[in-house]
Structure 1
Amino acid sequence: VPAAGRLYALPPRFTGDTYYLEPEEMALSPDGRSDEDEKMIIDRWVWNATDSRSPVPFDSRAVTCHAVHPDGRTVFVSVRRRRDAWMDHGTFSLDAGRCGAEWTHHGDWMLPFKGRAFFEPQLDAWVGLDEDGHICSCNGMSRRGSRRAAPALKVAKETLLREPDQGRRLDATLAHMGDGRFCLVERTSRKGGEAMNIFGDGDACVLHVTTFAVRYDSHGGLTVADRRQAGSYVVSTHDRFFKLQAFFL
């Protein structure tokens, strides 16, 4: 997740650290070796561990959603309870813009989203997908302290997920386009998608792209407006553990 001008990530297994990606200058010779007299300076991207004073207090494999505070630097994550885990669960935050910041535990409750949620200034709320494919929103959180329950939740009545013509739905994700507009990207298998042959080169999967706007209606409820089918695209899938991601530029 991007925060405080960096890209942050949690490792797939517990190591106690959070990592960020940033450019680093490196001297190389024109032929790519670093032991020549004639050097040139290039930028390469490297992962570094943060200087947080506290280790990650949860199992990163159990993270269900994440979002960035309106301040642009505080990352929130919700973590489900695991039967075989002794680590904490609930909702946590880390101020990525503060040197030596520690993880804050806000409570055992969970944010309602699946995957990434985005702060939308027009709604003054985070917006994301829930487990059933409905658009939902909740009020922004305080960066400090804890609360007994999750922030107020609003859910749009209609689901944005389409019923696959053939095969089955594999996953779905959102991208934030700004000004209250979003893009939904769904990945479905085509005919025969229940079998192992959806993996590899070919046309076994389809990406469906839908754009829409999120608004409050006259009663203060969450609603979807200006919904448009932007297109469908045949794609290949090579990794059964791949999770769909979408970005807006």
Structure 2
Amino acid sequence: MPEVEEDNFCKKMRRATREIHAISDALVNAKLAFGFMDDKVWADGLLVFYEIFRYLEGAMLRLKNTKVGQLRIEGLQRTEAFEKDLEFYLGKGWMKNYTPRDSVIKYLMRLREIEDTDSLLLIAYIYHLYMGLLSGGIILRKKRQLVQRMNPFKDTVLNDGNHLTDFGEYNIYEMKRELRNAMNRIADLLDEDTKNKLLEESKTVYMLNNEIIRSVQGAGSVIIKKLVYFFISIIIVVCFFFHLFRQ
């Protein structure tokens, strides 16, 4: 008989968030995917998540002697990488006039509320956001770099503006494995009521993610540009054949 694979807590989290996760994937494809072609969209996508990751990394330091701190894996910290990329896209003084948008403020308020009342629930946010970055974020980066290579009009060093998804000497597969193992170890020490709270909070993670992804600006203009280019191409082709057959 084939060996039955262990049903660990990470798999339960994935099942619990399957439906809302699918909505998030669709939103990312509809919004951030246009960042392949437009730096403004990509930068705005970075901007909405910057405060969230910064808060979580601060919380892991503040709670370093608790279970929350056990998810602080070496090489995973991204605040500095966010800031380097945002400086590349928005300029050195981008923070001077920066104010978080309403959806980001709502997200931060939820994180602060949790830290004050039931800080263990922060591990749901840490796990899902970093696992998402290590998986989907890397895929987005590769697609974006492919588009950059194919663009003859853009002379850009491929590492410029891509620090967020560059983990240097650290192996992404190993970091994902370490993050899963840490999450499962923590869950093994929790009672069923706490585990259920984490599963429910995991759904809230994706709901809040979806709200800030919806706020990403510029994707609509990229769609319009693509449509304009498409119709111009059609008109040129039609004019060419019209001229050809008139001769």
The alignment's TM-score, normalised by the length of structure 1, stands at 0.20
The alignment's TM-score, normalised by the length of structure 2, stands at 0.20
Determine which structure has the larger helix proportion and give its number: 2
**More relative contact order in 1 or in 2 (CA 8 Å, sep 6+)?**
2
